[in-house]
Amino acid sequence: MKSITIQQPGNLVIEERVIPQPLAGEVRIRVTNAGICGSDVHIYRGHNPFVKYPRVIGHEFFGHIDAVGEGVESSRLGERVVGDPVVSCGHCYPCAVGRPNVCAELQVIGVHRDGGFSEYITLPAKNAHVVPDAIPDNEATMVEPFTIAANICSQMNPGPLDTVLLYGAGPMGLTSIQALRGVYGVKEIIVADRIDERLAMAKANGADRVINNASIDLKTELEALGIRPTLIIDAACHPSILPEAISLASPAARIGIMGFSSDPCVLSQQAITSKELTIYSSRLNSNRFPLVISWMSERKIQPEKLITHQFPYLQVLEAMELFEKDQKQCCKVLLKF
């Protein structure tokens, strides 16, 4: 089989590998589609602190089960499935309280173990989620990106009283906008970004108001509009954002951070406690695949709006370069296997 492997940072190869056999409790997926994520580019560039090389990348993938391991029902053969990249131990404290995404022995497919940019992949049977026939292949490939939005939203519990400020109109921000609008029905969504074309994407996906905070001071603009956000999501992931979000937030607001920046930021304890703010962080997803599949089945979200480019997998370098460099026109890029 052909696999897309990062041998070392900056060295991507398409290599021939032996087709893996599923172990007990596992299934094998014949991959047909996979999506490129920013973390794939980070691994390629050597900026992911968790990965060990060489590594087959890819954690957004869809296909059909074509083999099962011992203990897995043969009736699963042929199922259309998406793979949850979160592989957890099931017995540590986070797993016991329903948060396998921060398992003490966490293995992320495409990071800690080989991923879905390959013609075949094996994974635990419970990580392969059936996709109804009504959801097209391309849209099914988008389930994992929407689980990131589902995870932060499930923690923050948005509702019709909420005025949302969302930083960043990249893929994480746009999936969150769709969920906030189509699933949770929030009162208003305001999006801040520094690229006008991305702000246009935000409007197309459900934002009510957009602000280019490269040219407009966000605090001044919100004060002039009389807006105090009750729910703030940082999907841009810059260390300067959290202190600003704390200053902009309404009393009793919730703030969610989705980034992995290791750079420090300075916070005022008084600014947090005087308004009794709640700050959430979110990593990956904690069993959100069935939820997102139900959203898609009920047409509460429109994943097709986010797919801007598709490439044969042999053109993966061209696809990754486009994803990395064209932030004005490119959102989600799919690879076809």
pLDDT digits (tens, 9 = 90+) for 275-297: 999 999 999 999 999 999 999 99
What does the pLDDT read at residue 59? 98
- Whether the CB-CB separation of 232 and 165 falls below 8 Å is answered with yes
Percent of the chain with pLDDT over 90: 99
In the predicted structure, residue 37 carries a pLDDT above the cut 90: yes
The model's confidence at residue 39, banded by pLDDT at 50, 70 and 90, is: very high
Euclidean distance between CA atoms 33 and 62, whole angstroms? 5
Say which residues have a Cβ less than 8 Å from residue 189's Cβ, sequence separation at least 6.
Answer: 164, 166, 177, 180, 181, 206, 207, 208, 209
Phi and psi torsions of 296, nearest 5°: -65, -40
Domains annotated on the chain, with CATH: 2-130+302-336 (3.90.180.10), 149-281 (3.40.50.720)
34 exposure class (CB count in 10 Å sphere: 0-12, 13-18, 19+): buried
Asked if residue 79 lies in contact with residue 64, where contact means CB atoms within 8 angstroms, the answer is yes
Has residue 271 got a pLDDT over 90? yes
Once rounded to an integer, what is the mean pLDDT over residues 24-49? 97
**How does residue 260 score in pLDDT terms, banded at 50, 70 and 90?**
confident
Backbone angles phi, psi at 266, to 5 degrees: -100, 125
The token pair that represents 130 in the structure block: 């059936």
Alpha-carbon span 246 to 285, nearest angstrom: 25
pLDDT range class, residue 3, cuts 50, 70, 90: very high
Provide the CA 33 distance to its chain's centre, in angstroms.
16
- 303 in Cβ contact with 142 (< 8 Å): yes
pLDDT for res 221: 98
Report pLDDT for 97: 98
Tokens of 270: 């008084």
Model confidence pLDDT, tens digit, residues 198-246: 999 999 999 999 999 999 999 999 999 999 999 999 999 999 999 999 9
54 upstream amide cis, omega within 30 of 0: yes
Q: pLDDT value at position 40? A: 98
Across-strand partners of 278?
254
The closest alpha carbon to 152, from 172, 167, 136, belongs to 172
Size of the chain, expressed as the number of residues it contains: 337
Residues of the chain with pLDDT > 70, as a percent, come to 100
Q: Which of 137, 195, 168, 39 is closest to 334 using CA atoms? A: 137
Q: What is the Cα–Cα distance from 324 to 229, expressed in whole angstroms?
A: 31
pLDDT range class, residue 261, cuts 50, 70, 90? confident
pTM of the model: 0.97
The whole-number average pLDDT for the span 40-69 is 97
Looking at residue 259, what is its pLDDT? Answer: 86
DSSP secondary structure, 60-88, as one string: EEEEEEEEE-TTS-GGGTT-EEEE--EE-
The confidence score (pLDDT) of residue 117 equals: 98
